[in-house]
Structure 1
Amino acid sequence: MTRTTPPRPLEVEAIFPELAAYRGTTTRLHPRPGSPDISSSSVGGPLLWPSDEPWPVCTAPHARGTGWRPVDIHRERQVLAAAWDRDPESGPTEQERALLAELAQKHRVAGLADTDPLPMIGVAQLYRRDLPDLPAGPDGADLLQVFWCPFDRHGRTGYGMSLDLRWRRSSEVTETLREPPRPAVVGFKGYVPEPCVLHPEQVTTYPFAGLLPDALCARIDAWEETLEEEAAAASDDAPGPPAYQYDLSIPPGWRVGGFASWHLTDPSPMDCRACGVPMELLLTIDSGEWDGGSGSWKPLEDRGLPAHRFASPTEVTVGRWGELNVFSCPVTPSHPHQWSIQ
């Protein structure tokens, strides 16, 4: 089933013609629960991984022997979803609550040292044929595979993510790994994605306001203030006016290409550490498919459907319900990626 983004509440270039020079595109992935296979782009699905290639592992020193079992996490979500589908007001039954309490227990893996190789979780695989805004990888690679460590125990602060992005030419994979290694326990439930098929849709996008020329950014701010004043004077019950950041520029949800949002922090330079070239947004991994405001980006096909089933279909959580922006070098794709959490 396709997913269709509704028309924007207004034509922003008609109000700010200068934005035409900054117009871009981004491909919304629209992940939804399903049963993907290794030949399809997916989130949380099986990966096209060569049988003779080592699976990505985390070897950074950190505790990794206590956490939740992935199988329990998936079961917990299934029980909750079924309960809310059956009775959105009452939720789980007494028996289901007892099961949920059992599934929520942490487990300990004996004999696991802090530096033992820890299998990373396959988060997503993206075929370039499916996604018009996914650039070619190194040496013409057409498949991007994303992994992360299931624990937040990295970096100088000890509370950072660890990502591993792999590019490959899919045609070169003949024998695939049937049973990839999986971590026995994870440190964060939000790092375990539910299997989702993708419904790619290319849409128009514009840069984060803070990265536009100062004069244009100031005009946008003044325009938004005027709209807010007019809406407040008209009616207290009227829906909020459209905002550049939330309705007109950068869509929420998982997407490829386009522009990064910097709504949590000030814009930070993302220059390639290998060659100094300004990096471009490669991928956004979002905790939600639409925000809790106007919901103007909610696809037409999802209108009227229960929010608890489609607002966060992947069950992935980044930061405190934020988004992860991954950047790549546009000149040399093999150069190391960088990322930012917003």
Structure 2
Amino acid sequence: MRDVPSLRPHARAGADLLQVLWCPFDHPPEGIMPQTALFWRSAASVTEVLTTPPETAVVEWEEYVPEPCLLSLEQVTEYPDSMELGEELPESFYRNGLSVAPGWKAGGWASWGYTAPVPRFCPACDTRMEPLLTVATFEWDGSDRSWVPGGVRAAASASASGRDHLRQPTGVQIGGGHRQQIYVCPAEPEHPHTELVQLPAAGQSVPSMMRKSRSTPSERAANAFW
């Protein structure tokens, strides 16, 4: 959490590290995303760090096993999905340039697509939950480059052939190119978290994709870390 300040308000007392684990199988009722487990920890308590993570022996979809990659954090300001505002807006500009940053991120606003905006409430105390993490298939929409991360903007402009890899550096695919959102209770970090699959923000395209099975060894503005 030293590197991602937006996680701090959600952490339990004494925690400065968030570990996210997931099971690489689809889980009902949503059915098209891995199931996650969150562990708030103290970095000082981690005395042995594996240099080589253990290989996943059995998975349902190989796209649920992330490719090793480096994080280059970028803080951005985004605005709510237009479906949450109910106002007349310049649709294309707002949706593609201001509303709901795509890609993996911590905090920020949720995108909607499968459903209209619906508040999510803690199953333990009924407090309205907040987005903690978004696991996305792509870092930006292929038809609009407003949200191309600064660290790869030049490479994305220079190489059309390598652009798909830049857009999907983790190799993770949720459903048919969707986003998995993880919500937590702001009142109590130890309460159960919830998950939701959504399409990219309204107006952003979703390509036709196939998955490969494998069974081998703010005010309106909100800050998000991308």
TM-score (norm 1): 0.52
Give a deviation string over 1:244-301, Cα, whole Å, max 9, x none. Answer: 2222111111111111101232222211111111111101111011112222111334
Alignment length, in residue pairs? 191
For residues 37-116 of structure 1, the aligned pairs below 5 Å read: none
Q: Which runs of 5+ in 1 are unaligned?
A: 1-127, 225-241
Q: Does 1:331 align with 2:187?
A: yes
Q: Does 1:264 align with 2:137?
A: no
> Which residue identity does 1:329 align to in structure 2?
C
Structure 1 148/141 Cα, relative in aligned 2: closer, same or farther at 3 Å? same
Paired residue for 1:197, among 57, 63, 70?
70
**Deviation of the 1:336 alpha carbon:** 0.9
Q: CA RMSD in A?
A: 2.0
- What corresponds to 1:252 in structure 2? 102
For residues 107-186 of structure 1, the aligned pairs below 5 Å read: 128-136=1-9, 137-152=11-26, 154-156=27-29, 161-176=34-49, 181-186=54-59
Structure 1 295/179 Cα, relative in aligned 2: closer, same or farther at 3 Å? closer
Tell me the percent identity. Answer: 45
Work out whether residues 102 and 136 of structure 2, in 8 Å CA contact, stay in contact via their aligned partners in 1: yes
**Deviation of the 1:160 alpha carbon:** 5.4
Q: Which runs of 5+ in 2 are unaligned?
A: 199-226
Structure 1 177/293 Cα, relative in aligned 2: closer, same or farther at 3 Å? closer
**Deviation of the 1:339 alpha carbon:** 1.1
Give me the whole-angstrom Cα distance separating, in 2, the residues matched to 1:159 and 1:301: 33
Work out whether residues 132 and 202 of structure 1, in 8 Å CA contact, stay in contact via their aligned partners in 2: no
- Comparing 325-334 with 136-145, greater Cα deviation is found at 136-145
Structure 1 286/156 Cα, relative in aligned 2: closer, same or farther at 3 Å? closer
> Which residue identity does 2:184 align to in structure 1?
S
Structure richer in helix, relative to its length: 1
Greater Rg over alpha carbons, structure: 1
Give me the whole-angstrom Cα distance separating, in 1, the residues matched to 2:30 and 2:37: 19
Paired residue for 1:297, among 147, 153, 156?
147
Higher relative contact order (CA 8 A, sep 6+): 2
Work out whether residues 121 and 128 of structure 2, in 8 Å CA contact, stay in contact via their aligned partners in 1: yes
Work out whether residues 34 and 64 of structure 2, in 8 Å CA contact, stay in contact via their aligned partners in 1: no
TM-score (norm 2): 0.77
